[in-house]
Structures are given as C-alpha cells and as structure tokens.
Structure 1
Amino acid sequence: MGKGLYISKSVGITLIVLAVAAVATIIALSVVFHNEKSRTVEKPQINETDQWKSYRLPGTLSPQYYNITLWPRLVPDANGMYIFTGHSGVAFTCVKETGLILIHSNKLNYTLTPEGHHAKLTGLEGAKAPAINKTWLEVETQYLVIQLSETLQVGKIYWLYMEFQGELANDLRGFYRSEYFEDGVKKVVATTQMEPTDARKAFPCFDEPAMKAVFHMTLIHPSGTVALSNGTKTITLRNQNVLQTKFKPTLKMSTYLVAFVVSEYSSIRTAAETDVRIWARRTAIEAGHGDYALSITGRILDFFQSYYNSKYPLPKSDQIALRDFDAGAMENWGLITYRETSLLYDPITSSNKDKEWVSTTIAHELAHMWFGNLVTMKWWNDLWLNEGFATYVSYLGVDDVQPTWNIKDLMVMTETHKAFAFDSNKFSRPLSLPEEEVKTPAQINALFNTITYSKGGAVLRMLSEFLSEPVFARGLSAYLKQFAYGNTVYTDLWGKLQEVVDADPEVNLPATISEIMNRWILQMGFPVVTIDTRTGNITQNHFLSDADSKPSRSSPYKLLLNRLLFVSPHGFWPTVSSHSYLQIIRANMINMSLALRTTSYLSEEREYLPWQSAIKHLNTFINRFRHTEVNTKMQKFLRSKVQPLFHYLKNITADWTEILSSHTDQYNQLNAISLACTAGVEDCLDLTKMWYRQWMKNPDKNPIKHSMRSTVYCNGIAAGGSEEWEFAWNLYKKSVDDAEAELLIYILSCTRKPELLNRYLNYTLDPNMVQKKHVNYVIRHVANNVVGQPLAWDFIRANWSTKTTFASKVDGNV
C-alpha cells in the first residue's frame, strides 16, 4: 500500500470552510476588479502616436499669451548671413488630456537646455508641469514636438519657454529683410509677412487662425533705428549700442496678424483721436509721397466705424511702405504693411490709376480691422469671409472719400467681370471649401486668388443689394458684436443676417439667407441665365468658357433667380438677352456675327463703362484671330468702332495735350489710344511712336502725360523692336522708384518679339536682373501677351521647382 496523508474530521471541516471563503474572496475581488476595469475602459483613451504627421493641431492646448523678444542684426555676420536671435514663452491651457505638445516652428535653430531639450516647461497658477522626455523638430509638418513623461491636467495653465535663432533672409516670408539705397548708402529693414503660415518662421507658436492670444513684444535694435509693432510703444531703453523697445500687449488676435519692423524710416501723423502715422523712406516722406495716404486714412476709418456701428478698437494705426514686399498690403492689426506702390502717391509723377490703387488698397486693409482681425474665420477654407468682405466694402470706403469717382460702378469691371473670367474655367472652385481639403501651407496659399477676393466681393455685393444696404449693414454690426475677438464659419454670418431680416417686415425674401447664399458659395462657377423675351421664361445652366469641357466639381445649378433677377441688378450671373453677348460667345452659345452686331452702337458711344465692358471681351477675339486669315477683317471692324471715339477725345483734349478732369474720362482716353493702336489706326500708331521716340532721345524730359504713360509705353514697345525694348530695360535696371519700376516691368512684356520675351522670362531666374518681388509680375504679364502665352507656359514647366519658391498671392491681391 502506498504512502498517504491522514486528516482528521475536524481539520477537514476547517479546511473546507477556508476553501469556500477563499473562493468567495476570489469572486468578490474579481467583481471589484471587473468594475474598476470597466471604469478604466470607459475613460477616453489617448492615442497620440504620430500626431505630428498631421498638418492640423490636435486641439488639446489653447494659447493665452506670448512674451516674445527678438533681436534682428541689420549687418551680416562673419559668414555673410543676416540673422536674428530671440526667446519667447507662451502660456497655454490644457483643454484635453495629453502627454504631447505640438507647436509650430519653421527654419528656427534652438538653444538646447542642459537636459538636451529644445524647450522648458513649467506650471503656472499652482499647476505642476510633467518632465520632458524627448523633443525634436518635425520638418515636413513644421512642428517642434515635445513628448512628456506624464499627461497635462485639463484646465491647468503651463508656460513653455524657448531660445532660438533664425535667418533674416530676403525671401519676403516670416521675419525677413528689405533693402534700399538712400543718399548712396545701403539701408536694411527688418520686417514681417506672417500670413498665412509664416509666423512660425519668426517665433514658435500655435500658428492657426483660431489659436488667438495676446502678444507682448520686445524688440532689440541698433541706435538710430525705430521699432514698430502691433501695440503702442511703452518704453525704449538704451543698452550700450542697442535699444530695447517694449510694446503694450495686443488685443486677442491670430498669429498671422503679428507684425514688427525695425528701420530708419521717417513718418508723418495726424492729430486725430486715433493716432495715424504713415512710415516710409525718409526721402519719400520729405517729398510728400505719404501725404495722400494720411489725408484719407482717418476719414476711411471714420466711415467704417459708422458703417459697422463699431468703434475702431485700437489707439493707433501705423501704415508702412516697404521696398521689398510680396503682396499689395497686409492688414496686421495696428501695423499695416504695404508695397510702396500701394501706399505712396506722388502727385507729380503718379497717374490717376495709381491714386485709385492706393485708395482702394488702404480701404481694403482698414476694412480688415473689423472683418478678419476683430472677427476671424475659424480656418482658411473660409478665407473669403475675410477677403470678400474687404473687397466689397473697400469700394464703399473709397466712395465716401472720393464721391466724384463713381467707384462703386467700377466694381463691376474690376471685380465681377474679373471673377466671371476666372470662375468660368472648369478648374475653378467653390468660395468655401470643405475643411478637410485645406491642410498644407501650399493648399492654404492657393486660396489667395480671384475666387476668394473678386468673386467673394461680387457675391457679397449681390447679397447687400437684394437685402438693401441698411439691412445688410445692421446684420454685419450684429455679427461683429457677437463674435468680437473670436472665430466664425460662414453659417454664423448667415444666422445674424437672418435675425435682422426676420425682424424687418419690409424685407421679403423667397427663401432663407442660407438657402439662397449656400448655392453661391458651396458650388463652383456661376449660371448663364437665358431669358425668352417672348414668353418671359427663365432658364439657367452652369456657364463654362469651354462648353465642351467637364467641370472638375459637380455644380447642379438650381439658383433662386426668378425673383432675385429683377431685385438686384448686380447679380453674379450673365444673362442671354440684349446684353453680355460678347461674354457668352466664347462658350459657343450664340452666333458670333449676332454678338458682334450688338456692338454696332459703340461707334456712337462716348462713355467709359460701356467701352470698358466691350474692350474686355473684344480683346479675347483680338487675340484669338491675330494670327488667322480673319485678322484683317477683325482689324477693319475694330477701326470702324474706335475711330470716332479716338478723334472725339483727340479734339476735346487739344490733340492729346490736355488731361480730362473726370476720373472715368481719363480712363476712356487710355482705352481709346490702346484699342485704336491695336486696331491699326494710323493716327494712333504715329502718335505713340512719336512720343516714345521723343522720350528715348531725352529720357529726362518725358513728353507723355503721366496718366497715359502705361498705355503709350506699351504700344510704343509693341510697335518697336530691340532698341525700344532695351531702352526700357536699362531704365528698369536703374530705377529707384517702385512705381516706375512696376510700370517698366509691365511695358517690357508688351513686345511682340518672342526672343525678347524669352530673354525677359529667363532674367527672372537671376535676382540681380529681376528683383524677387517682381518675378511673378513678369511671368503674369508675359502670359497675358498673346505671343507670350506659350512661352510663359513652357518656362513655368521647365522651371517649376524654382518658380514655386517664389509663389505668392496669385493675383497680386491684398
């Protein structure tokens, strides 16, 4: 018998009781563990793997304020580089639990902490900051990535501090340098262009428009220079050979509106309630080139305060003219930066068109002080909310200070017709894109085009017209009041306008604001409206300039036109009736002979607007037929129409020696000369060649009136050869005035000689030949020349990687 284990009865019972108790304990613990596990599972899981590969911030952190100190060096270092150094801190609130900090950073070099990290993290207001595990720069998505040992606490505030260095390059982006010569001495300006995604190139920041914060700025700069920023200067301290200027904190605003400039500029100012100052090169200020801008800025601000029923929220408005600036202007809150030709006006040498451009640009930027700055789009897909409004109301602002110009009527020519041409392309896009389609900096930059600015402005004008201007303005006022210092989407605007409409019994719409307007902003293109004059029936179809093309996006047009058509004369659509034939002929919708017969009245027409509308469309046919057998007949047809206007204006201006007083009459003079020379009117060709030759013989004594120079120069070069072109090119190389340089940039593209146009395009590859800020202008102007179109296209394809480096706001918009 084998060995066994003997257990007494009493011991066995005890063991059984203990076993049962153990099982019960295990079951109880299992229940407790299951309940605890359930609670843990229900808690949101944080998956932060590879968040730095997304171009959008995760929304876990919200910046409150920044302290930024920057020191730009206005002389090169031992390596020949211009640099800036700086340090900044940002206070942010944790709004969602996270163990990861993503902050935008591009082309900045950091001073590492003793632990080898790019930043330091501390807690504020009693918060305890977790330790930093690891930091690195994610170049593709432009982040500084900070991984933490523990998660940040929701609702707690933290402070992130960094020290860094960057290049003060001449690339017109972020914090960059501009250069000019004064009295034979080279001067360097440190300035900024943050919009849309380049604040991160000046200092680390949460660089999205919804990430609004307050900015405390300090600039260190050389003695003899002046520092400017968004806020008002509080104090300037002298420290050996440098100055330290501190500024009052800004209002809550987006990073793309941050601006600072260090220069040797001079200024003029007003003594009004709002401190308005115009800054420019000393010689430009002394010559009075800033006087016109100063005379209208305060008046336009007053107009917008009244129109929006909202006080300008800042104590000052600095406006500064820069030699090297990519866009027309930039609406930085409190410190608006301009290309020189957009702010400075010389009453002796500038043209009427120059004055209009300065006026509309200033009005556009000041309009942004409310639309865009006070209330900002949530994301770039709704950029049109900023730019479309500024485009539309800029005409109202200029009309208030220049009532004799009839500028509101010109909007149809300058914006609506321009948008028609762009939006009839099969590759157009809606005004408002889905948010997920706009992520990368390249995708954001692509939005700065005619659709955003011109179509946005035209559609909003249409909305204003059928609501009536007072109702529209009341809606804008309510919108600005509710969303001040915040961010919105387009539906927020429709909602406030609808509230005003519902409260006004005199406004009777066929549908809600949203139902009407979403059809215009969420679809690409526009309809062509056909009116049957016998029955009154109205039909509509998506208009494409190439009727056989297939649009890149579906646009099932069903617009509410039956009632709106006659309510608003400013609708964003052409009609197939007795008007707009020339516009729709390109889509092969009507017979060309019929369309051209509608222009028969032009031989009797003397007013600017009808002629301007006709010329815009006639130019299409001029270019189409220039190298065909139809060209001779086309030229004869054009001469029959324009000769009466040409000779009429010649007579009333004493053989072109006088300039007419009316704003639009001056434009009509240019139209008459331009079309007459294009059509081969001998008197016109002889006139422009004579003037151009006289100018070539004596460049210092130009016989051509300033308002007519653009047209005369262009026709002189078009009719001439290499000698005429070289004369203008040498003047460009020697030009010191931006307005003169940009005029010469344009007229050099007027030649009809392919070899000259090719040489001109190749010059854009060398910054010593064509300045970077002029590169896109050259390409655009050459592409607008019928001879240059294929040359420009071949050039772009051959140099695509180079040209994208200089990509700017596509249409030179502001």
Structure 2
Amino acid sequence: MGKGVILSKVLAIMTVVMTVSSVSGMVIMFIIYQEAYERDRPTRPPTPNATDPLPTGLPPNMRLPKNLVPQRYDLHLQPLLYTQTTNTTNQTLAFKGSSNISFLCVERTGTIFLHSKDLSLTENTIRVNDVDRGKVVPVSGVRQNMNDTNFLEIQLNGVLTVGSNYTLFIEFKGELGDNLAGLYVSKYTEKSTTDRVDDERLLVISQLQPTDARKVFPCFDEPAMKAEFMVTIIHREGTKALSNGYLKESNSVVIDGEPWEISTFHQTERMSTYLLAFTVSNFEYTSSPHDRVEIKIHARPQAIKAGHADYASGITKKMLSFYEGYLGRIYGFKKMDLVAAPDFGGVAMENWGLIMFRESALLYEEGVSSITNQEWIATVVAHELAHQWFGNLVTMKWWNNLWLNEGFATYLSYLGVGHLQPDWNMENLLVLNEIQTAFQVDSLASSHPLSCEENDVQTPSDITEQFDDISYSKGAALLRMLADYISEGSFILGLKKYLDALQYSNADNKDLWKHLQQAVNEDGGFVKVEELMYTWTNQMGYPLITINTTTGAVSQQHFLLNQTSTYDLVWHVPIRVRKSGDNPAIVLLKSSGPEMKAAFRANHNQWVLANLNCVGYYRVNYNPENWARLLDQMETDPQEIPIINRGQLIDDAFNLARAGHVNVTLALSTTRYLRNDTEFVPWEVAIRNFNYFLLMFDRSEVYGPMQAYLRNQVQGLYQHFENVTLASSVPDSHSDQYNQINAVDVACKHGLPACQTMVQELFKIWMLNHTNIIHPNLRYSVYCQAVALGGEEEWEFAWRMFQNATSATEKDKLRYALSCTRKIWLLNRYLEYTLDPDKIRKMNAVSTINYVAENVAGQALAWDFVRAHWTYLSQEYGGGIMSFSSLIDGVTQRFSTDFELQQLKQFQSAHGEQGLGSASRALEQAIERTQANIQWVKKNKRTVLEWFKGELRRP
C-alpha cells in the first residue's frame, strides 16, 4: 500500500474521537443548563408594540393631511419694485421673503405637506427645528406642484413626534404680476405739479382669496388651518406699508447700499390664510373718528385731497357701531384700514383689519357719482364690515359652506344700510337684487345646493365656482326667511351664541342650526331649525307653491324653467298668506301635497295673496280665477297689494310662463296696469322680465310690435318725471330717483321721440361747450343712448372723456356707453381694446365684453371674440376669484337657436372641463338655458306676436 492510505486511516480515527468528545460535552452542557433554568427561570422580554407605518406618497385627495396644526407665522416680505420710476430706475417686478411657521404635530409623520405655487425656493433654504428638544430635523428632499395640487412636499430624515412643537423656516422668491391675484402690481397716474406730463405710480397690493396665499408664501392654505400672523414688510424709502395688524414700529435701514424701511406689525388674532393682506404704496388717507378703533380710508393722493373718500369715511364708523350693537360683540382689532385699489379683481375683499376695494366701490365724488353709486358704496362697505364677524371671526370649515360667509354678509349688508338710510327701502331692494337674482340660476337643473359635500369641492376651480349667486344671494334670501319664521329676536340671539361659541374657529351648517335652536328653545318657540333648513341648504332649487283658492288645496313641486328635468324634492315651506279683507296667516307646508288649508280658501270675489312681502324663497301659482281677481285689483286699486308683492306677481307670472305653468298671455297681462303705476319696484321687475323677451325676439318680427307696446306703456312714466328731467334735476325720494332712470332708459331705448331728442341735445351741449350738465343719476342712460343714436364722432368723444376721467364711477358710465354704438366696426375695435390693459383695465375686461354682448349689434361679435381668445383670456384674466362664469353667462344670454346650441356644445367639447376651469358650470347652465329658450320661443313666438299686435289695437 502506499503512503497516502496510511495517513487517511489515522485521520479517520482522530475524527471519530473528536466527534464523540464534542457530543459528550454538549450533553453535559445541556444538563447543566436545564438544572440552572429550573432553579431561576428568566423573565420573557416584552413584545414590542407594532408601529403604524408612516404614510407615504401624496394625500388621497386635494386636501392637506391633518397631521400638522399651524400655530403662528413670522412672515417677512420685501417687494423690490419702485413705486415711482425715472429714466434711470432699474425696475424689478419681483418680491422675496421668508417665513418661520410654528406648528404642532398631532400625528406621526416623516413628511410635511403645505401649499406653494409659482414660488422659487431651494432645499438648502428650508430648516425644520424640533422646538421641544432643541434640535434640527434634517430635510432629505423637496418636491413641488405634484399633479397640479400646489403641494410643497418636504421629506424629512426623521419622524415628527405627536404632541411636539416644531418650526419650519423657508426662504422664497416670487414675481409681481398684474393678474390681480396673489401679490400683484397696480398702477395709476398723478397729475404732475411741475410739468404737463402725468406721473405714473405703482403700488403692491394683495388678493389672496380663495387660494392665492400660496402664491405669496408657502403656507397651510385651507380656511380651517387658522394661525396667528406676525408680519414684517421691507419696502422702499418714502413708501407706506400696511398689513392686517396695527403698525408696531418702522425703522430705516440700508440694504445693499440702498435705503429701505422695515415696518413690523402687531400679531393678528387667529385667522385663515386667505384673510392676510398687504399693500405698499404712496397712498394718503382720511380718518374716520371712532372711540375705540382707528379707521382710515386710503386712496390715491388726489382722490383723498378731492374729498372722494369722505362719504365712505362717514358711513364706516356708523356701520361698525351698528353691527357691534346688533351682534352684541365689539370688533376685535385696534384698527381698520379701507383701501381703494386702482386695479382689483373682485368688488372688495374683507381681509381682517385691511379691507380692499376697487375704487368704484369706495370712492364717491359729489356731482359726478350717482345715487346708484352711493347706494353701491354703502352696500359694499356694509358687506365687508359684516364679514369681520361672519367669515373672519367665525369662518366656514371648508369652501363647500361658503354661504356661511357670503350669505350672512349679503343679508346683513341690507340691514346695515337700512339702519343708516331707512328711506332707501332696502327690504325691497333685497328682494329685487338677491331673491329674484338667485331664482334665475336656481331654476336650472344645473344649479347646485347651497351646501354640498366637502369632497365635491376640491380643486381651485371648484372653489372659485362657489362664488356665485347661490352662495351670496340665495344664502341671504334663506337667512331672511328663517329670521322671519323663528322671529327676529330668536335669530339675533342665536347669532350671538354662534359667534361666542365659535370665535376664532370654524363652523359648518350644523353649528349654526345648533345655536339658533338653543335661542328658539329659550324664547319658547317650537320650530325645529335643522329639520326645516336642511331642505333648503342641502337641496338645489326651490319650490313652486300651487294654490287652488276654490278648494283651499296647496301643493309644492320643484320649479325648473325646463320641466323635462324632474327631481323628487320636498321642502318645509313657511307660507305667509293674506286674503282680501282678512289678517295675514302663516302655514307650514311639509309635504308635496295637495293639502287642504282653510287659509287658502277664498269666498266669492275674494282674492288670496301668498308669500306676503316676499319673505319666502319660492314662487306661487294660483287657479285662473284667483289670478283674474289679483289682476283686476291691480287695475282698479293697486295700493291694496303691497308694492313688493305687485313686483312679485309680475315676476312669478313671467317665470311661470317661461316654465309652461301658465299661458304667456297671463304674464304679459300683468304689465297692462303699469301705465297707471309710477312705483319703482313693479316697473323694475317688469323691465327685467321684458329684457328676456327682448333677448329672445329683438332679432325677429316680434320686436317691432313689442317695442311699440313698451313705448306706449312708458309714456306716462316718462311724462311723470319729464319736468325734473329736463331741468337736470331729480325727485326727492330714493325709489323715485331710480324710477326716473327707468323712465329715461326705457323711453329712449324704445324710440320715444321726446326722450331721444333730450339725450342728443344734452350730449351735444357737452361735446360743444365742454360743460356736462347731465345729472349724475341720468348719465348712465343718457351717455348710452346718445352714443347709440350718434356715430363715430360721439363715440370718439366718449372715448376721450373716458380716458381723461379721474373718477372711477364716471369711467364706469362711459365704459358702458361705448358699448352702446350700433357701428359694428367700432364695437369690434372696442372688443380688441379689452386685450390691452392700458386701454381697459384687466378688472374691467369681462364686464366690458358683456356690455358689448348686451347690444344686439354686438352679440355675435362678443361671442366670436370670446371663442377666438378664450385661452389667452382665461390665462391672463382668470386668476383668483375673477371667475369667468359671468363672461360665459353674459355672452350667451341671447342664445335661442339650434345653431347657437350647437356652437355651445362644440365650445364645451373643444376645451373640456380643465380648459374651462371656473366657467365649466356656467357653460353647462348656458347650454341648459339655451335648450329651454329654444323650446319656449318655438312654442310662444306666434302667441306673443299676436298679443302685442292686439294691445296696439286697443283704444
């Protein structure tokens, strides 16, 4: 055998010996371990708690997660522009700033989500600090604008602990645009004192509602995420800065060799981001004395010197005192600044302590502004002051309940102005301006509930769509109805409870109903508030109440202009009713009916009038016998029926005819008696409803007889005011002044020779002598009719006067008049001017296009113009709450043919919901309205033509 075989045997023997030894050792060790284990059993270690996985990725919807609660913002802003420029000025239309946000963590997270849009920031400028532990939480990554959410996602190298406090520091930069949203630039001219060249001035102004705070600084931009704000503004030397808080201190500094001022403002109360506001300007102000609040009206220096802010100054302090007394709660800030902005997308904005207005809504020029302008300013100021409680102190939780802000402010504004001016009959104006306005939108199947589900309102466009006649006007109408039903005393008591319980917080419908119910219970009432109001706020539309006065039967159904769409909706309807010769009664209808009620049953020749004083949000139809008795009463002695109900009967009849519930001849017959009535409300209602007929028929053979009928009817009204009109004067009463305007407007539009001669002569005197003797109340009508009856010379003169006018209210009158010409080429040129902000300010572009569309000569031009420029218009002019819904609504009002319906559908298909943005719902409503118009015209055109011809043959 060889050597290798012998070594293998030896190795094998040694391996066996070692294996046996190892096994023996292991056995011995196991025995020893068992004995020790039995003597002293070890305690089992605790099972570790399962850790919930941290959420990853984007939130499931467009809403911020609720894991972080903002407490305070320390915000620094530095607009870089110069408010005055010279040939050597290096102008920079930008701003930069920093924000230090203090927040509380309420759910574990490794990611911070907040909002940021169009801001430039970098990861190395973001710092997160754990305040409680005194350490930095490292940032691992940053993402912006994922899927158009406007989210800023800050990814952390660590986890935020529940119950701990943190700060988030961010530096950022942004552009100062001119799109009237976020932080933007406005401009105006001041008459030079040294030469003939006017000086241009710039200012910085903010408009953050509803979702544009995120354009100014990264923030938690949702209304329920309230916080306190400490604002510091770094601005050019010689300018003045304003923000919500009271000015704490202002210091001069030098930065990069240039002089600046640093203005620091006192910390605000807890409030929503959309209420934050800033301005930097060379404005001056006038003060409004108040025993506790420093009130200032800020405007262009020349406007202040001319006294244009004096009217607003006088009413603001009175209005503030009224609300404090009415609500039993003082205004919570030390100061209130009201600013008249040369460029402003909305009418006004209620920012807490710093309210913004467009100039025409705040500045009043004696001898130039009309009674309409005066009332408008009073109403807008009252609306914004009411917001200081409803919207600012208590804010809706989410935009689906915007009506809790806007409905309240609208309703209370009429109470406020009515308190200051009891002779203005604001109760009647509320019915005209709010209830009948809301009725038109709410009678479409494409309307929406006053309060919808939160998830139905997600995107910025969804939110902007909420700013419509439903939130404002219907909200006000329902509050008025509720206050009437539960009593004014219970209503006010409930509001006080609501404000006390939810101050500096947020609310939804149920919170309001809860506190109103408490008030009703304390006053011994029996109304179930939530049960009643749920049917009004959570259902779209409104009911038609049908009454048979022979049997006393009453029923309800959903009123729609196009009744082919049916919804099984029932409301709890408080009906105030009066029979001729009897006292009023109230009946609550809770079923669709019919129900038999003695209050609605009339004796022989007795009429029944429901919805007394129009306190209810519904329309009423009667059996033919009762209609005949009511119309006979209006012919023989209209004073027996309240003025507002005379208007209601006309409005209900016309809209019932549009919906096919009554014959169109009944509606037209309600206007016969007007030849003997000089009251404003019924005339105003009739004019508005005839406007629908004009829109439907001013391109057809019906127009001639209809125009002749209106000319005959208005002749008595025109003659009633003719002497004061020719004397360039006005009547004493507020409502008569309004009706004088109606008389001139209707008489001239429909060819009354005396009226047309009068306006041409007045306008010619102005053109030749450069002396305007036209009374401010009548300028709106006289300017328009003179331009319509004239030619290029009159148009060019009006354009020059528009360019030279220094009063915003005078500019508005002339801007409207320029749309009245019948010259197609002038209208086309005027439409092109709306694309040039140096000719027509951006804030006026939409209304100017709509003015042209009102003109039958400009209808097709305006529609073609909007379609051709839609993308540009929506991008350049559609920011913030500058909703394009009114544009679509305005340019399609006259649509009543199959071809126009086809064009609408093609436009909708071409742009899609994303391309239409906030105008999406308005286009759906335009399509529905056009379909209803087509059917109505086909059904009624011949009947309407014959009725007007028959009236012209009457003696």
Q: TM-score, normalised by structure 2?
A: 0.79
User: Is the contact between residue 574 and residue 616 of structure 2 (CA under 8 Å) also seen in structure 1?
Assistant: no
- Whether contact under 8 Å (1:129, 1:152) holds in the other structure is no
3-state DSSP of counterpart to 2:738:
helix
- Deviation per CA, 1:174-219, whole angstroms, max 9, x where unpaired? 1111111112221111111111111111111111111111111111
Please report how far the alpha carbon of residue 574 of structure 1 lies from its aligned counterpart in structure 2 after TM superposition. Answer: 1.4
Partner residue in 1 for 2:181 = 173
What is the DSSP-based 3-state SS (H/G/I as helix, E as strand, rest coil) of the residue aligned with 1:220? strand
Q: Is 1:129–1:158's contact at 8 Å kept on the other side of the alignment?
A: no
User: Is 1:84 the equivalent of 2:95?
Assistant: yes
**CA displacement 1:337-396 (0-9 Å, x = unmatched):** 111111111112110000001100000000000000000001111111100000000011
Question: What does 1:474-623 align with in structure 2 at a 5 Å threshold?
Answer: 474-505=493-524, 507-509=525-527, 512-548=528-564, 550=565, 554=567, 556-561=569-574, 563-564=587-588, 569-577=614-622, 578=627, 579=649, 580-623=652-695
What residue is the counterpart of 2:129 in the other structure? 122
Provide the residue aligned with 1:233 in structure 2.
247
Distance 1:676 1:437 in 2: 47
Separation in structure 2 between the aligned mates of residue 729 and residue 527 of structure 1, nearest angstrom: 47
Distance 1:456 1:391, change over 3 A: same
Question: Does 1:671 pair with 2:742?
Answer: yes
Q: Which residue of 2 aligns with 1:392?
A: 411
Higher CA-based Rg: 2
Q: Which residue of 2 aligns with 1:242?
A: 260
The Cα of 1:20 is off from its aligned counterpart by 13
Alignment of 1:332-351 (within 5 A): 332-351=351-370
TM-superposed CA distance for 1:626, in Å, is 1.6
Whether 2:136 is the aligned partner of 1:64: answer: no
Conservation of the 8 A alpha-carbon contact between 1:717 and 1:750? yes
Q: In structure 2, how many angstroms separate the alpha carbons of the residues matched to 1:18 and 1:79? A: 89
Measured against aligned partners, the alpha-carbon deviations of 1:509-552 in whole angstroms (never above 9, x if no partner) come to 3xx2112111111122222222112122222222222334x37x
Q: C-alpha deviations, 1:140-188, integer Å up to 9, x for none?
A: 2223221011110011111111122211222211111111111222111
Q: Deviations over 1:18-77 (max 9, x none)?
A: 49989x99xxx9x979x837x41xx433222133x8421111111111111111123389
| CA positional deviation for 1:126 | 2.7
The structural deviation recorded for 1:291 is: 0.8
Q: Quick one: which of 281, 304, 315 aligns to 2:300?
A: 281
CA 1:584–1:118 in structure 2 vs 1: closer, same or farther (change >3 Å)? farther
Shift of the 19–482 alpha-carbon distance from structure 1 to 2, 3 Å rule, reads farther
Task: Give the drift of 1:787.
Answer: 4.1
1:784 aligns with 2:798: no
> What is the CA distance between 1:118 and its match in structure 2?
4.1
Residues 78 and 106 of structure 1: is their aligned pair in 2 closer, same or farther, counting only changes over 3 Å?
Answer: farther
Structure 1 124/636 Cα, relative in aligned 2: closer, same or farther at 3 Å?
A: same
**Range with bigger deviation, 271-280 or 58-67:** 271-280
How far does residue 558 in structure 1 lie from its aligned partner after superposition?
3.8
Residue 120 of structure 2 corresponds to residue 101 of structure 1: no
Contact 1:118–1:136 (CA under 8 A) maintained in structure 2: no
Q: 2:209 aligned with 1:201, yes or no?
A: no
1: distance between equivalents of 2:102 and 2:212? 20
Q: Check if 1:147 corresponds to 2:155.
A: yes
Task: Name the CA shift for 1:572/1:755 in 2 (closer, same or farther; >3 Å).
Answer: farther
Contact 1:208 1:255 in 2 (8 A): yes
| Residues in 1 aligned to 2:616 and 2:789: alpha-carbon distance in whole angstroms | 40
Instruction: Say which is worse superposed, 583-592 or 494-503, in terms of deviation.
Output: 583-592
SS at 2:475 equivalent = helix
Match of 1:133 in 2: 140
Q: Are the counterparts in 1 of residues 831 and 849 from structure 2 also a CA contact under 8 Å?
A: yes
Shift of 1:84: 1.3
Q: Retained in 2: the 8 A contact 1:745–1:774? A: no
Change (3 A) 1:798 1:683: same
Q: Tell me how large the CA RMSD over aligned residues is.
A: 2.8
Alpha carbons 1:649, 1:656 under 8 Å: kept: no
Q: Distance in 2 between matches of 1:21 and 1:491?
A: 69
Q: Distance in 2 between matches of 1:800 and 1:20?
A: 90
Partner SS, residue 109 of structure 1: coil
* Between 4-13 and 272-281, the greater mean CA deviation after superposition: 4-13
Counterpart selection for 1:370 from 389, 410, 417: 389
Q: For structure 1, which segment, 361-370 or 312-321, has the greater mean C-alpha deviation from structure 2 after superposition? A: 312-321
Deviation of 1:443 (Å): 1.3
Q: How many residues align?
A: 791
Q: Distance in 2 between matches of 1:611 and 1:667?
A: 10
Q: Alignment partner for residue 643 of structure 1, among 693, 696, 715?
A: 715
**Residues 127 and 157 of structure 1 are in contact (CA less than 8 Å); yes or no, is this contact kept in structure 2?**
no
Q: How does 1:321-470 map to 2 (within 5 A)?
A: 321-470=340-489
Partner AA of 2:208 in structure 1: M
| Alignment gaps of 5+ in structure 1 | none
Aligned mates of 2:689, 2:481 — CA distance in 1: 22
**Matching residue's letter, 2:618:** W
Aligned CA distance change for structure 1 residues 639 and 16 (closer, same or farther; 3 Å): farther
In structure 2, do the counterparts of structure 1 residues 387 and 677 end up closer, same or farther at CA, with 3 Å as the change threshold? same
Contact 1:416 1:572 in 2 (8 A): yes
Do the aligned partners of 1:84 and 1:167 also contact (CA within 8 Å) in 2? yes
TM-score (norm 1): 0.92
One-letter identity of the residue aligned with 1:775: A
Q: Which amino acid aligns with 2:267?
A: P
Amino acid at match of 1:668: N
Change (3 A) 1:8 1:631: closer
The answer on 1:220 being equivalent to 2:238 is no
Alignment-mate amino acid for residue 839 of structure 2: M
Deviation at 1:11, TM superposition (A): 6.3
- Structure-2 separation of matches of 1:373 and 1:726: 46
CA distance in 2, matches of 1:350, 1:750: 20
Task: Verify the 8 A CA contact 2:783 2:813 in the aligned structure 1.
Answer: no
Letter of the structure 2 residue corresponding to residue 802 of structure 1? Y
Contact 2:110 / 2:156 at 8 angstroms: preserved in 1? yes
CA distance in structure 1 between the partners assigned to 2:305 and 2:806 by the alignment: 16
- Using the alignment, how far apart are the partners of 2:250 and 2:683 within structure 1? 57
Is it true that 1:626 corresponds to 2:626 in the alignment?
A: no
Q: Is the 8 A contact 1:127 1:158 kept in 2?
A: no
d(CA) in 2 for partners of 1:555 and 1:712?
49
Q: Provide the C-alpha distance between the structure 2 equivalents of 1:568 and 1:635, rounded to a whole number of angstroms.
A: 31
Kept in 2: contact 1:216–1:248 (CA 8 A): yes
2:807 alignment partner, one of 728, 731, 737: 737
Gap change, CA 1:680 and 1:10, over 3 Å in 2:
closer
CA deviations on 1:433-457 (whole Å, 9 max, x unpaired) are 2111111111111211111111111
Shift in CA distance, 32/570, structure 1 to aligned 2, threshold 3 Å: farther
Q: Specify which of 808, 828, 852 is matched with residue 758 of structure 1.
A: 828
* Structure with a larger share of its residues in helix: 2
**Contact 2:485–2:574 (CA under 8 A) maintained in structure 1:** no
- CA separation in 1, counterparts of 2:856 and 2:160? 61
Amino acid at match of 1:137: Q
Contact 1:462 1:568 in 2 (8 A): no
Equivalent pair of 2:80/2:92 in contact (CA under 8 Å): no
Query: 1:257 maps to what in 2?
Result: 275
Distance 1:16 1:414, change over 3 A: farther
Report the alpha carbon displacement of residue 754 of structure 1 after superposing the two structures with TM. 4.0
Q: 2:52 aligns with which of 44, 56, 80?
A: 44
